[in-house]
Structures are given as structure tokens and as C-alpha cells.
């Protein structure tokens, strides 16, 4: 199943099912003939509603350097355990919107990532039981302000600013997303990142077990599992697409004052 949150023309926030009509939906700002959103007995054209973040996380737990090729391009070592940092709810942004970035920065980068959406409150989860607490997967762009990230240890300014975590456009239950699902980032139509979740250093199961040893995860929380190589700078007016096999495409614009 593929679930989406949206605001209809009357301003009502709804949770619907992405009804597939012609194969897998290509979920962009103009979804065209690739499916409609079903809510009760009604259906909606995705292009005529506001797509909202597919969940409302209390926190986003992110992994750094969870692809060896990205660690290499950042001239860093692969960590011996998941390297964790946090983004708050203020960082969450929607599919289809133009996102304002911090002003006066020399480099703000895109980072395409597989997002794991938690389905129930959980603590001390084992690797064997990890998938029992997963509601599904989504697309994430872990936008990074490199100017400040390089100057601080805990990455608050570098990673947790407003609009630093667009997610969406939907949550796909795990059976839709292959173990070797492709992950791609395009900027203005140019492919910048192209990899697969099979190259994760730490698996989804290992990551959930590690995180929940230290903190309770709540329904709707998101784990951003790290980005592959190819991260690069964004400019004012750019259009970004993060596409993950089995989920669809998260799309947003960039505004840099």
C-alpha cells in the first residue's frame, strides 16, 4: 500500500491511498495519468491537491557516512557504528514546494536518502524484530549547509535548519521497495547521484536496533539512512528530484535569498 497525506480544495487534511492505475505511479508535481489519490468514496487528482509530508515526525534520526563511496568523497572514514545526528520537526518540508534555504552560504548540498517511517512507539528493538515497527519507506533529501557543518561538532546549524528535510511524497509499505532499490537524485534534470540501498553500510535492521538502544522512537518518526556519493551544491532556482524505486519521486524547488 502507498499512503499519502494531502490538503483538499476545502482546506481539509486527508490521509489517502495512492491508487495505481497504470503501473507504478510516477509521483511528481504533475502526476498526470499515473494514478489518483483515494479517500473513502472520493478520488483526487494529485496535481489538484497540496501534497503534505506523509508523516509528522517528532524527530528525524539521520545517519552520516552510511555509504562507503560518500565517506570517500568527503575524505572521511566509514564509522564502526552508525553515526547518528538529529533533525527536528522544523526541518520537515513538503513535496512540490519551493524551499527557502539559509542566506549567505557558499555551499548548500543535496543528499538523496531512503527514509524509514516508524509505525509504532518502540524501544530496545532487536534486529530480528526491526521490520515489525516499520510502517514503510519514503524519500528524503538531507539538505546540508556545509559552511556551518564544517565549523561545528553536533551539526545543528549545518543540518537542522528550517526546510532542511523535505520528505515524501508518500509512504510505501516495505513489500513495494526491493532490497536493492535504486536511489537517484537529479537537479534540473541532470543525474547527480545514482546508487542502491544494497550499498548501505549499516542495514535498516541494524540501524533501528542501534537507535532504539538509546532512544524511544514514536509513530511517524523518520530514519534517514544516509546518502551515496555524488552530493553537490544547490543554487537559487534549482529543481530537485529524489527518486527511489518502489516509492516514487520527491520533487521540490530551491530559493536562496
Mean pLDDT of all residues in 123-134: 98
Output the CA torsion sign for 201, 240, 251, 150: positive
pLDDT at residue number 18: 86
Inform me whether the pLDDT recorded for 152 exceeds 80. Answer: yes
Determine whether domain 53-255 maps to CATH 3.90.850.10. Answer: yes
Q: Is 219 helix (H, G, I), strand (E, B) or coil?
A: coil
Q: For residue 170, give every residue at least 6 positions away whose Cβ sits within 8 Å of its Cβ, in sequence order, or none.
A: 2, 3, 4, 18, 27, 54, 138, 247, 248
Return the bridge partners of 184, or none. Answer: 194, 243
Computed over every residue of the chain, the mean pLDDT equals 93
Query: Quick one: pLDDT at residue 36?
Result: 86
Task: Check residues 26 and 74 and name the one with the higher pLDDT.
Answer: 74
Domain boundary assignment for the chain: 1-52, 53-255
218-257: per-residue pLDDT in tens?
Answer: 999 999 999 999 999 999 999 999 999 999 999 999 999 9
pTM over the 0.85 mark: yes
Q: What CA–CA distance (Å, rounded) separates 119 from 138?
A: 13
Maximum distance among all Cα pairs of the chain, rounded to whole angstroms: 54
Q: Give me the torsion for CA of 173, 178, 184, 189, rounded to 10°.
A: -80
Confidence of residue 33 (pLDDT cuts 50, 70, 90): very low
Question: Counting Cβ atoms within 10 Å, is residue 46 exposed (0-12), middle (13-18) or buried (19+)?
Answer: buried
Query: Is it the case that residue 29 has pLDDT exceeding 60?
Result: no
Strands 190-196 and 222-224 turn out to be unpaired
φ/ψ of 204, rounded to 5, equals -55, -45
Comparison of pLDDT for 20 and 198, the residue scoring more: 198
In this prediction, residue 20 carries a pLDDT of: 57
pLDDT, mean of residues 48-64: 97
For the segment 164-169, the average pLDDT, to the nearest whole number, is: 97
**pLDDT score of 35:** 77
**Cα angle, residue 155 at apex, residues 195 and 186 outer, rounded to 5°:** 30
Amino acid at each position: 500500500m502507498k499512503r499519502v497525506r494531502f490538503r483538499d480544495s476545502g482546506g481539509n487534511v486527508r490521509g489517502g491511498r495512492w491508487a495505481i492505475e497504470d503501473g507504478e505511479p510516477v509521483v511528481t508535481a504533475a502526476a498526470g495519468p499515473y494514478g489518483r489519490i483515494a479517500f473513502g468514496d472520493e478520488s483526487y487528482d494529485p496535481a489538484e491537491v497540496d501534497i503534505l509530508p506523509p508523516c509528522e515526525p517528532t524527530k528525524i534520526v539521520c545517519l552520516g557516512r552510511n555509504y562507503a563511496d560518500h565517506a570517500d568523497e568527503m575524505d572521511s572514514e566509514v564509522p564502526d557504528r552508525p553515526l547518528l545526528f538529529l533533525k527536528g520537526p522544523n526541518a520537515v518540508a513538503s513535496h512540490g514546494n519551493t524551499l527557502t534555504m539559509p542566506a549567505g552560504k557558499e555551499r548548500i548540498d543535496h543528499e538523496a536518502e531512503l527514509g524509514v517511517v516508524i509505525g509504532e512507539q518502540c524501544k530496545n528493538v532487536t534486529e530480528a524484530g526491526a521490520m515489525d515497527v516499520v510502517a514503510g519507506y519514503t524519500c528524503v533529501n538531507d539538505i546540508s549547509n556545509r559552511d556551518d557543518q564544517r565549523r561545528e561538532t553536533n551539526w545543528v546549524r549545518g543540518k537542522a535548519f528550517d526546510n532542511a528535510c523535505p520528505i515524501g511524497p508518500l509512504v510505501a509499505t516495505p513489500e513495494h521497495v526491493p532490497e536493492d532499490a535504486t536511489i537517484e537524485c537529479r537537479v534540473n534534470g541532470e543525474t547527480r547521484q545514482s546508487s542502491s540501498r544494497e550499498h548501505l553500510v549499516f542495514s535498516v535492521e541494524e540501524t533501528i536496533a542501534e537507535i532504539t538502544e538509546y532512544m524511544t522512537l514514536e509513530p511517524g518518526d523518520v530514519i534517514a539512512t544516509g546518502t551515496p556519493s555524488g552530493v553537490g551544491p544547490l543554487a537559487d532556482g534549482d529543481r530537485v528530484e529524489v527518486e527511489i524505486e518502489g516509492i516514487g519521486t520527491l520533487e521540490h524547488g530551491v530559493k536562496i535569498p
